[in-house]
Chain A
Amino acid sequence: MIRKILKGSAGVTAIGIVIGLVIAGISAGSYHLAGTPQFCASCHSMETVHGAWLQSEHKQFACIECHLPDSNLASQVTYKAAVGMRDLYYETLRSYPDAIKLTDGGRKIVSENCLRCHFSTVEKTNMASGGASCIQCHRKLVHGQGLAKGGIRVE
Chain B
Amino acid sequence: MARVWRKEEFELNKKPLIIIGLVVFILAIAFIAVRVFVFSPPSIVKLTPIPDGEYDPAVWGKYYPLEYRSYLKNREMAPSPTGFGGSVKVQKSIAEPSILENFKGMAFSKDYSEDRGHPYAVQDLMETKRVSPKSVGSCMTCKTANLIDIYREKGWGYANMPLFDLFPLLKHPITCANCHEPSTMALRVINPAFIEAMAGRGIDVKKASREEMRSYVCGQCHVEYYFQPETSKVIFPWQKGVKPDEMYAYYAGQPFGFAQDWIHPDSQAKMLKAQHPDFETWSGGVHGKAGVSCADCHMPFMRNNGRKYSSHWVTSPLKNIGSSCRTCHDQSEPWLLERVKTTQNNVWHLQKTAGQWVARAHEVIGKAASVPKTNLAELEKARELVRKAQWFWDIVAAENSMGFHNPDQVLNTLGQSIDLAHQAIETASRAAGTNF
Contacts and interface: CB of A to CB of B under 8 A. Distances in A.
Interface of A: 42-45, 47, 88, 91-92, 94, 96-99, 101, 136, 139, 145-148, 151-155
B301 A148 contact: yes
A139 B330 contact: yes
A7 B291 CA distance: 75
Interface in B285-340: 296, 300-303, 305-306, 308-310, 320, 322-323, 326-328, 330
B32 A92 contact: yes
B45 A154 contact: yes
B75 interface: no
A151 B46 CA distance: 15
B330 A44 contact: no
Contacts of B35: 91-92, 94
A84 B186 CA distance: 38
B232 to A, nearest CB: 37
A139 to B, nearest CB: 6
Interface stretch (B36-44, B268-276, B345-353): B36-44
B185 to A, nearest CB: 5
Nearest to A88: B32
A99 B326 contact: yes
B322 A97 contact: yes
Given A98-B322, A98-B323, A148-B327, A92 B301 contact: no
B210 interface: yes
Contact of A155 (B44, B302, B305, B323): B44
B329 to A, nearest CB: 9
Interface size class of B (residues with CB under 8 A): 20 to 34
B36 A43 contact: yes
A99 B321 CA distance: 10
A108 to B, nearest CB: 14
The residue in B35, B46, B184 that gathers the most chain A C-beta atoms within 10 A of its C-beta is B35
B323 A99 contact: yes
A44 B310 contact: no
A47 B45 contact: no
Contact of B327 (A44, A147, A154): A147
**CB-based closest 4 A-B pairs:** A94-B306, A98-B323, A44-B40, A99-B327
Contacts of A98: 300-303, 320, 322-323, 327
Tell me the interface secondary structure of chain B in the complex. mixed
B19 interface: no
B47 A154 contact: yes
Contact of B45 (A92, A97, A148, A153): A153
Contacts of A43: 36, 40
Interface of B: 31-32, 35-37, 40-41, 43-47, 184-186, 210, 296, 300-303, 305-306, 308-310, 320, 322-323, 326-328, 330
Contacts, number: 75
A155 B63 CA distance: 13
A60 to B, nearest CB: 25
Contacts of B306: 44-45, 94, 96
Contacts of B301: 98, 147-148, 151-152
Contacts of B47: 154-155
A91 B296 CA distance: 24
Contacts of A88: 32, 36
B43 A153 contact: yes
A97 B224 CA distance: 37
Contact of A47 (B37, B43, B309, B326): B43
B44 A101 contact: no
A88 B35 CA distance: 10
Nearest to B64: A154
A92 B36 contact: yes
A53 to B, nearest CB: 17
Contacts of B327: 98-99, 146-148
A94 B185 CA distance: 26
Given A42-B37, A101-B330, A147-B301, A152 B323 contact: no
Q: Which of A101, A136, A148 has the most CB of B within 10 A?
A: A148
B185 A154 contact: yes
A43 B303 CA distance: 15
A29 B330 CA distance: 36
Given A98-B323, A147-B327, A148-B327, 13 more contacts: A43-B36, A44-B43, A91-B35, A92-B35, A92-B36, A94-B305, A97-B323, A98-B302, A152-B308, A152-B310, A153-B44, A155-B44, A155-B47
Contacts of B323: 97-99
21 contacts: A43-B36, A92-B35, A92-B36, A94-B305, A96-B303, A97-B322, A98-B301, A98-B302, A99-B322, A99-B323, A101-B330, A139-B330, A146-B296, A146-B328, A147-B301, A148-B296, A148-B300, A148-B301, A153-B43, A153-B45, A154-B47
B74 to A, nearest CB: 19
Contacts of A47: 43
A146 B35 CA distance: 27
